[in-house]
Amino acid sequence: MKISILPLKFIIISSLIITVFSCINETTKPQHSTLNESIEKKVDSVLALMQINEKIGQLVQYSGKWNATGPSSTKGDQHKFEKLKKGEVGSMLNITSVASIRETQKIVMEHSRLKIPLIFAYDVIHGYKTIFPIPLGETASWDLGIMKQSAAIAAKESAASGLNWTFAPMIDVSRDARWGRVMEGAGEDPYLNAVVGVARIEGFQGDDLSDIYTIAACAKHFAGYGFGEAGRDYNTVNVGANELHNTILPPFKAAAEAGAATFMNAFNDIDGIPATGHKILQRDILKGAWNWNGLVVSDWGSIGEMRAHGYAEDKKHAAEIALNAGSDMDMESYAYEAHLETLLSENKISINQIDDAVKRVLRLKFELGLFDDPYKYCNEQREKDNVYSKENLAIARDVAKKSIVLLKNENNVLPLSKQIRSIAVIGPLADDKDSPLGNWRAKGEYNSAVSLLEGIKNAVGENTKIHYAKGVDLTIPTIEPGANQFLLPLKFNTTDDSGITKAVEAAKKSDVVLLAIGENAYQTGEGRSQTNIGFLGLQNELLEAVYKVNKNIVIVLMNGRPMDLSRASEIAPSILECWHLGSESGNAIADVVFGDYNPSGKLPVSFPHNVGQEPLYYNQKNTGRPYSNKHVTFSGYRDAPKKALYPFGFGLSYTTFSYDNLQLDKTEIKASDDIKASVNVTNTGNRAGEEVVQLYIRDLVGSFVRPVKELKGFEKVMLKGGETKTINFTINAKMLQFYTANNKWEVEPGKFNVWVGGDSTTSLKKSFSVIE
């Protein structure tokens, strides 16, 4: 029987007590809980030889951007060199290239007592030098195979360059378009984040971490980082146990079960406890209930930042909190190296805790094969042969075109004929060769992407006239190569409209306008929260001026977050969501614009009517007053719609699809039973196309209020013109369970609705019941 009313006392203290936060009733164990006996013996043998300074050193990660082949240039560099020589560093990040990595590894191997090799890490988020679409954009493909493939290529290029470890994938559920880092994840849905995260982990890590072309993945940020108040980066997070377990943690549990080698904790606090010092999250849930045996690394400086939070008195206190909480490796806080030995002598931490953390570091090094050959990743010829190859660029183009979402296409403006007489390519992003690389572009070279203008020119013949005009500059000044992305002031041009006249002239003499507007690469990413998610600078003025003289406009939207498209959607007949698509951006867009590829992308995030709707997501709860004609007042807005402008899962094609004959093989089951669902999907047009068939479920009554719909499955299917296919889903207990008021994952008996369709607003529905 379901619990309908919870005691008031339980509600008040539910977010404060350990029993609510811990998953002590988890029944499944992650794959990473199975240890390799041979490796464990080797880990123990090395651990037995280590002195306390060497143990603590393995828990230290430094950033090194020096030239390892030359003399140190700063006092800080000299300190790092001395620590390396003593074997008191476990990992380095931000050292790239085989030459630099080899020389840094040699410092340890030639001078330290035990010669324990370093792990080399780098932020390889959506490609190393061959850049793929930003993760949010790539998720719009809903194609897990290509996401795994792009991660595998990123791993291959990284490993060939000497690296062993990436800080990806980010699997934070994020529902607020104001948060700049939404570009780095898979959007607003827990299930989609989970399956996309697993695909990327499998791509990075392959079947064997010791393979020379694989690298260790890192599931981040554990946990709640995407729920920062007001969409502000690093901001506080206030969630109860229900939201934590049912929305935030599922992608991380899936990552642990998939064998993610490492986790990274988060900058934010959760209900007053910084994630870096959150024992319940790290020790009780991740390492305890989930029995995960990987390595937890802090985010950059996050251990020391617990002082600014007001949670630690000083860096020594922060080190004590972090290690006790289960944070194994200190990234750039210098807290562990300075204070762990003293804390141990004062009995504020235990040697067992240190040994457990060290074993996790050593285990990963053995899994990577670094003890067998510390230089196994250091091969210049491999680096030359595998980085930025033609084959990798061809795959990047394929991934990019599959990530494009057709949001609007009135009067079939698209696709264009390659014999069209004239095209105006207009906008501040039209000939931008840098913004398509997106933020977090690893070693992607400045201005190396194929621009939209280049892609269009590559696609058409000499008889098609291309009229280009920038129209307006987006920012002042133009971003310079090598600039530190975190220090860029991003001053937007709000005064110089002198180029609009030229843009209007180009539009007047063209059959169609491709208007490239949106955001440059540095408007989204870490530290790039915005209260305005519309077209900044003078882009709106450019749009209006062009529309007055040529209404045949295709907006080519380049962006890293959901944007306010209300006016653009009102006047432009066609909108292509093109994100930041990576190295082959312009060619991929041209593939879609001219119909060489029929767009198949679907939105992984909801697009609002305006920023006032944020945070906005499809899987909301119903409230006691959902919209209906029975209520004068309801949970909505008086000045804007309640629903999204473009909903989660939405995306058009150059053909059309219809759904019918949704069937369930049972209408009543026990919790342990399965139900077979089937639906007929028909391509009702003449052109072949792919459709993402989406399955949603609602638990109508629960011990906690359940969302109005939850994505539980999808399948991407190719259909010829006029073809019908029957798509089958198996609904099982895992799809129906949630973290209940009993503080465990279970299926509660009751009624459920099932929808299948092309986006989250689908109305094709059946119902069934789970009986006790």
Q: What pLDDT was estimated at residue 344? A: 98
Q: Mind listing the pLDDT tens digit for each residue in 414-461?
A: 999 999 999 999 999 999 999 999 999 999 999 999 999 999 999 999
- Res 631: pLDDT: 65
Intervals of CATH 2.60.40.10 along the chain = 657-771
pLDDT of residue 208: 96
Average pLDDT over residues 636-665: 96
Task: Return the active site residues.
Answer: 299
Q: pLDDT band at 73, cuts 50/70/90? A: low
Mean pLDDT of the chain: 93
Q: What is the pLDDT of residue 27?
A: 40
714 conformational bin, left if phi > 0, alpha if psi -120 to 50, beta if neither: beta
Q: In whole angstroms, what is the distance from residue 515 CA to residue 424 CA?
A: 8
pLDDT of 634 reads: 84
Mean pLDDT over 113-139 rounds to: 98
Strand ranges for 266-421 from DSSP E: 269-270, 273-274, 295-297, 330-331, 405-409
> Scanning the structure block, which residue is given the tokens 């009229």?
467
pLDDT tens-digit series, residues 144-191: 999 999 999 999 999 999 999 999 999 999 999 999 999 999 999 999
Q: What pLDDT is attached to residue 627?
A: 72
Q: Distance (Å, rounded) from C-alpha 565 to C-alpha 633?
A: 27
Residue from 353, 269, 281 nearest 306 by CA: 269
Query: Strand ranges (DSSP E) for 31-77?
Result: 60-63
For residues 447 and 434, the answer to whether their CB atoms sit within 8 Å is yes
Give 265's DSSP letter: E
Q: What confidence tier does 66 reach under pLDDT thresholds 50, 70, 90?
A: low
Q: Counting Cβ atoms within 10 Å, is residue 506 exposed (0-12), middle (13-18) or buried (19+)?
A: buried
- Res 4: pLDDT: 37
pLDDT band at 75 (very low <50, low <70, confident <90, very high): confident
- Boundaries of CATH 3.40.50.1700 in the chain? 398-613
Query: Contact at 8 Å (CB) between 539 and 472?
Result: yes
ω into residue 221 within 30 of 0, thus cis? yes
pLDDT at site 490: 78
Residue 629: what pLDDT?
A: 60
pLDDT-derived band at 569, boundaries 50, 70, 90: very high
Does the pLDDT at position 119 exceed 50? yes
pLDDT tens across 680-739, in order?
999 999 999 999 999 999 999 999 999 999 999 999 999 999 999 999 999 999 999 999
Give mean pLDDT, residues 82-101: 96
State which CATH number among 3.40.50.2000, 2.70.70.10, 3.30.70.100, 3.40.50.1700 fits the domain covering 398-613.
3.40.50.1700
- The dihedral through the CA atoms of 700, 704, 709, 710 has a sign that is negative
Strand bridging mode 675-683 / 724-731: antiparallel
Q: Is the pLDDT of residue 8 over 60?
A: no
Tally: H helices and E strands in the chain: 24, 28
Across the range 14-27, mean pLDDT stands at: 41
Residue 741 structure tokens:
């008021």
State the first-to-last Cα distance of the chain, in angstroms, to the nearest integer.
8
Instruction: Find the mean pLDDT for residues 215-224.
Output: 98
74 Rama class: left (phi>0) / alpha (psi -120 to 50) / beta:
beta
Rounded mean pLDDT, 579-589: 98
Residue 688, CA distances (Å) to 40, 659, 685, 715, 719 in order: 53, 16, 8, 17, 6
Q: Which CATH superfamily is domain 657-771 in?
A: Immunoglobulins (2.60.40.10)
pLDDT digits (tens, 9 = 90+) for 379-400: 999 999 999 999 999 999 999 9
31 pLDDT band, cuts 50/70/90, is very low
